[in-house]
Homo-oligomer: A and B are copies of this chain.
């Protein structure tokens, strides 16, 4: 059975919601970031990156949201979480998720994890000051150029939606009102109204 390693308030929420929406069997195991659980020898054997999400499968461990999300969609095709029969539409979905991980999440991470990219406190403080504007720039692009509405890919819910919802959830912590972006805000509300999303949030935040 699939086992998702997650920590609350991290990007692992995207893969967790997709698993819940897939209808597939899985278990979710919390990694305790407060005690640096992602750096224990046991966890590093599982995922040498020392990050979440990680998805343990019968054939090995997968990492990286864009890969895990595609794997969930392909493993549970009846849930129609991705346009698997249309390479162009699938590439659009992958491009969206790639933007989430390599631009939006990275922009956000410069607030709390600046130590990854600089050692001195002044530089880390300087990075923090730019995060809000960078996130606004990212979400302006999402609002104007990417999100079709009501879901990211249009009428059909897809693996892009849990990932956008996860990134939108970071906005408040950056002091940004999601209502600056009406389509993003509507997608966020629709996600919050989804019982599957509510079940995952209950588990993660309990």
Contacts and interface: CB of A to CB of B under 8 A. Distances in A.
Interface of A: 48-49, 57, 59-60, 62-68, 70-71, 74-75, 87-88, 90-92, 94-95, 98-99, 101-102, 105-107, 110, 116-120, 122-123, 126-127, 129-130, 134, 141, 144-145
Interface hub of A65, A102, A120, A129 (most chain B Cβ within 10 A): A102
Main secondary structure of the interface of A (DSSP, over half): helix
Instruction: List the number of copies, as a whole number.
Output: 2
B95 A106 contact: no
B122 A94 contact: no
B106 A102 contact: yes
Contacts of A106: 102, 106
6 contacts: A48-B144, A62-B92, A63-B95, A64-B102, A94-B94, A119-B129
Nearest to A95: B67
Nearest to A145: B48
B88 A60 contact: yes
Contact of A101 (B102, B120, B126, B129): B102
B116 A87 contact: no
Contacts of A130: 117-119
Given A122-B123, A126-B123, A127-B123, A94 B66 contact: yes
